[in-house]
Amino acid sequence: MGVPQDAARRSFAMHAGGSSNGKAVQEDPAGEPDLLPAEAVVDLAAARREAGIDAVLGSLDTDLVGLEPVKTRISEIAALLLVDRVRARFGITAQQPTLHMCFTGNPGTGKTTVALRMAELLHGLGYLRRGHLVSVTRDDLVGQYVGHTAPKTKEVIKRAMGGVLFIDEAYYLYKVENERDYGGEAIEILLQVMENNRDDLVVILAGYADRMDEFFAANPGMQSRIAHHITFPDYTVGELEQIGELMTTTLGYRFSPQAREVFREYLDKRVGQPWFANARSVRNAVERARLRQARRLLEQPDPRVDLAALTTIEADDLLASRVFGTPNP
């Protein structure tokens, strides 16, 4: 982001005044929060800009293809927090809303990426002190022996304080078939922290929808602490194509017109094949095309290259893929 988050937050704190958790309270010399009189009028558009919401939502929109329901929910959350802040300027101090979330979707649908953006946004809004993301799986939280789990889980929570704790494939924390499993201990500690430290830590659980449902059924305490269930749909081929274009452009490449056609065929085939992982498969395809392009350039009889050659992915760079049945990609 262009504007440092801290600057955005400070300026927001200056303009928006009070906060229910005392993090962004502007005090007058007497030490009292500087409240607005009841007849005051606040410009929400200005408050939005100052909190950096427009910048984060704008880049979310341009950097991420599709995901409309996800984008809508995020802007709703941003609106809620902003309105909360403005209410606090008038002295209405409600409890901070709970923001623990669950992201369900297949691999490569953007869950980790959106969690990072969410951390940024919540930091910009002054909800999170640091706005970093700590991404973990079961192995980071659960120990192998008696007494190992609590310190492990607490250490992770400590690292995540002030930011987002992202627990990927959260259902692995809980193993129904195994009584001696220590996952339950980690869940207990998490539940406490999610309740007691919710103004300083946002927990995002992520995973496949059906497995998450089972997990919640077995852990109702967890279910009741999650305020937002956000579904990440699979991308359409058209969206995958746009994601590929976006990725190549960002990397400083472009598809030749023929390559663009081949890329579409590639995606048509790839979505039906094993281990398809949405945007992650697109990223991998683009990376392999880069490798083949580089090899092609080095192997061509005339060793001289121009900018166009260096930046163009040709049809052959994609056609060599295993997806088209080529034995040695």
Ligand X SMILES: Nc1ncnc2c1ncn2[C@@H]1O[C@H](COP(=O)(O)OP(=O)(O)OP(=O)(O)O)[C@@H](O)[C@H]1O
Q: Residue 2's Cα: distance from chain center in Å?
A: 19
For the CB of residue 99, give the shortest distance to Mg ion in the complex, in Å: 19
By DSSP bridging, strand 164-168 and strand 202-207 are: parallel
| Closer residue to ligand X (CB): 188 or 245 | 245
Per CB under 6 A, the list member of 66, 124, 126, 131 interacting with ligand X is 66
CB contact at 8 A, 44 and 59: no
**Residue listed under structure tokens 């749909």:** 233
113 binds, among Mg ion, ligand X, none (CB under 5 to 8 A by kind): ligand X
By DSSP bridging, strand 164-168 and strand 133-136 are: parallel
- The letter for the amino acid at 324 is F
Show contacts with ligand X in window 140-169 (CB under 6 A). Answer: 168
Q: Taking CB under 6 A as the rule, does residue 279 contact ligand X?
A: yes
Q: Taking CB under 5 A as the rule, does residue 137 contact Mg ion?
A: no
- The letter for the amino acid at 105 is G
Show contacts with ligand X in window 111-130 (CB under 6 A). Answer: 111-113
Q: Taking CB under 5 A as the rule, does residue 21 contact Mg ion?
A: no
For the CB of residue 126, give the shortest distance to Mg ion in the complex, in Å: 27
CB contact at 8 A, 201 and 157: yes
Taking CB under 5 A as the binding criterion, the range among 104-112, 142-150, 176-184, 194-202 that sits at the site for Mg ion is 104-112
Taking CB under 6 A as the binding criterion, the range among 91-99, 152-160, 184-192, 277-285 that sits at the site for ligand X is 277-285
Q: Taking CB under 6 A as the rule, does residue 246 contact ligand X?
A: yes
By DSSP bridging, strand 101-105 and strand 202-207 are: parallel
Across the strands, what pairs with 136? Answer: 167
| Closer residue to Mg ion (CB): 8 or 119 | 119
Q: How many residues bind ligand X (CB under 6 A)?
A: 19
For the CB of residue 173, give the shortest distance to ligand X in the complex, in Å: 16
| Closer residue to ligand X (CB): 27 or 287 | 287
Among candidate residues 109, 80, 88, the one with its CA nearest the CA of residue 35: 88
Helices (H) and strands (E) in the chain, counts: 15, 7
User: What is the C-alpha separation between 267 and 263, in angstroms, rounded?
Assistant: 6
| Closer residue to Mg ion (CB): 11 or 112 | 112
| Closer residue to ligand X (CB): 175 or 211 | 211
State which H helix or E strand residue 165 sits in. Answer: strand 164-168
Q: Residue 54's Cα: distance from chain center in Å?
A: 17
Per CB under 6 A, the list member of 67, 170, 204, 240 interacting with ligand X is 67
> H-type helices in 181-313, by residue range?
183-196, 209-218, 220-225, 237-250, 257-270, 278-299, 307-311
User: What is the C-alpha separation between 211 and 169, in angstroms, rounded?
Assistant: 9
48 binds, among Mg ion, ligand X, none (CB under 5 to 8 A by kind): none
The contact set with ligand X (CB under 6 A) reads 64-67, 105, 107-113, 168, 243, 246, 277, 279-280, 283
Contact residues for Mg ion, defined by CB under 5 A = 112
